[in-house]
Structure 1
Amino acid sequence: MNWLTHLYQNYLSRSIVEKIIIINVVVFILTYLFNTLSFLFQIDGNFIVNWFSLQPDFELLLYRPWTIISYGFLHVGFFHILFNMLVLYYFGNLFLDFFNHKQFLVYFLLGIMGGGFVYMISYNYLPGLKTQESLLLGASAGVMAVVIGISSYIPHYSMRFRFIGNVKLLYIAVVLVVLDVVQIPTGNAGGHLAHLGGSLIGLTMTKYFDQGLGLIRWVEQLMSKREKKPLKTVYKNSQKKAYQKRETKSEEQHRIDSILDKISKSGYDTLTKEEKDYLFNAGKK
């Protein structure tokens, strides 16, 4: 059993982004194992897909309420999960540079839920979709919530691509949303609508972040009753007490806001070393 203990401890040491990726990969492998068993024993359908994917029937949701979240951990093929996990890895780690792991989890899970509800409403009330049979699975809505959330928070932050060069997050977000909109009639309408639902959650959560602190704190309390520390929005700080002694909370927040504004307008690389150090020290638990 030592190897199981080692695997579990290794899992616990990972960041929240890596933990989500590991869960998705494990569920993906289990899904394909059940596919094999279903084939060998002539079982109709896949148990995991049947019970954990999301269907547009609101009445069925009452009997399987977990599916509004569990569908976000299922994938239909290798390239489906590969693309989702790659995007989640890069944008998720960037997200953690400015937010904490609980905020990431809130964005991701609410994105999945928001995408699921947009999918269900669309297939129940839009004439072009009401007659179609559909099944929703995939982490894309949660991934899009994270992508659009961080992109709207620091829109002028640039990511470097090998054959393209530097591209601002704002442009990446716009391209992804436009692609989802124009691809709705071409196939996988439910998936693209769920992406848009997740994108809306990410944009709304960032735009009204201050007003949404109550919701995030409530979710945090559900996840950990022991921690009741104030919510952090920027880099982690190992010298929090020292900063609180030197300046008031309002003065510190004002300086943080001005640095974040500078990042939003011209990118992180334009910060001075002093500003980077201050930002790093000002938010660490």
Structure 2
Amino acid sequence: MSTFQNLKYKFNTLDIFGKLIVVNVIVFIVDFILSRVIGLYIVNYFKLPSDFMDFIVQPWSILTYGFLHNGFFHLLFNMLLLFYLARATTNLFRTKMMLNVYLMGILFGGMAYLLVSNLFFAEFFGARGILVGSSAGVSALLLFIAVYMPHTQIRLFNAFNVKWMHIAIFFVVIDAGRLLLGLNRGGYVAHFGGYLLGYIYAVQLQKGNDFGAGFERLMDSIASYFKPKSKLKTVHRKKGKSGFAGKTKKEFEAFNKQKKIDMILDKISKSGYESLTAEEKEFLFKAGQD
């Protein structure tokens, strides 16, 4: 097996967030080579400009800015936090749902940046400011888990446990202070856009509503255009409703599975992850792979 094939195989075995981290690293390297070595600033068309008229001619930048970073440590910090947040959430929730939180956080962060710079403070970010970084998406995931499961913990430096809720409070306070001091205002406005999305998503999910369901359908429909089309025709038999409370068997099983997940998550919220039985942990792990 060639080196390229080996790398391709390893990439394909990663989960979606592992692939996102790799993509961010590759984009950073390509950006460095094009901008710093060759002198081509093509990536500027993928950064989010603060001026709305500039944004109109590159609307894709409302999402693509989240895959660009302005320095090695900016990239490193975001990817490390994304790695730990993804590990904490994807065993408990559908991977696609967590991807919704992350991508919608980037969108909300971009919209907050544009809104503040164009409607409130004309000189808020200085002349022709730009926004880059995945921080808004990471912020959305952080507040999502802090609100939905405030007692969930992470073990730091293999020495002590810290609740995600306390980590979220720390970052929100720090970001608010830096925003008031005028440090990198555009970036911290985007952070708060992500925090808002994470909060809304968590609160709605606690009420039984998947806030990102429409966004997920949109992304699936876009992704379908890039999948190879099969010439085979699938014929579906019409299925009548069975005796499962007016639902098909598949719908009934999905309903019961979600109810069990909700009960386990409620137990985690009240007593922590370690209060789960081995069977419940295994069930959550398998559910997270679906």
- Measured after TM superposition, the shift of residue 220 of structure 1 is 5.6
Q: Is the 8 A contact 1:56 1:123 kept in 2?
A: yes
| TM-score when normalising by structure 1 | 0.81
Deviation at 1:90, TM superposition (A): 0.7
Bigger shift: residues 3-12 or 167-176: 3-12
Q: Given residue 262 of structure 2, which amino acid in structure 1 is its aligned partner?
A: D
Q: If the length of structure 2 is used for normalisation, what is the TM-score?
A: 0.80
Find the aligned partners of 1:224 and 1:36 in 2 and give their Cα distance. 36
Q: What residue identity is the alignment partner of 1:139?
A: S
SS of aligned partner of 1:208:
helix
2:139 aligns to what?
Answer: 144
State how far apart, in whole Å, the 2-side matches of 1:213 and 1:249 are: 18
Kept in 2: contact 1:106–1:219 (CA 8 A): no
CA distance in 1, matches of 2:125, 2:32: 29
Unaligned 5+ runs, structure 1:
227-243
Corresponding residue number in structure 1 for 2:280: 275
Distance 1:217 1:125 in 2: 29
Higher RCO (C-alpha 8 Å, min separation 6): 2
Q: Describe how 1:191-210 pairs up with structure 2 within 5 A.
A: 191-209=187-205, 210=209
Tell me the distance in 2 between the aligned counterparts of 1:282 and 1:32.
Answer: 39
Tell me the CA shift for residue 283 of structure 1. Answer: 6.1
CA contact (8 A) 1:141 1:197 kept: yes
Superposed CA RMSD: 2.7
Change beyond 3 A, Cα 1:125–1:282 = closer
Equivalent residue, structure 1, for 2:220: 221
Count of aligned pairs between the two proteins = 261
1:256 matches 2:252: no
Residue 37 of structure 1 corresponds to: 37
> Counterpart of 1:178 in structure 2: which amino acid?
V
Out of 132, 138, 154, the position equivalent to 1:159 is: 154
Q: Which residue of 1 aligns with 2:92?
A: 98
| Residue in structure 1 matched with residue 46 of structure 2 by the alignment | 52
Q: Percent identity?
A: 37
- Secondary structure of residue in 1 paired with 2:151: coil
Is the CA contact (8 Å cut-off) linking 2:91 and 2:285 kept in structure 1?
Answer: no
The match for 2:231 is: none
1:114 correspondence with 2:108: yes
Segments of 5+ residues of structure 2 without an aligned counterpart are 228-248
CA 1:130–1:6 in structure 2 vs 1: closer, same or farther (change >3 Å)?
A: same
The CA deviation string for residues 69-120 of structure 1, in whole angstroms up to 9 with x for no partner, is 1111111111110100000011112111112222222111111111001011
Is 2:78 the counterpart of 1:79?
Answer: no
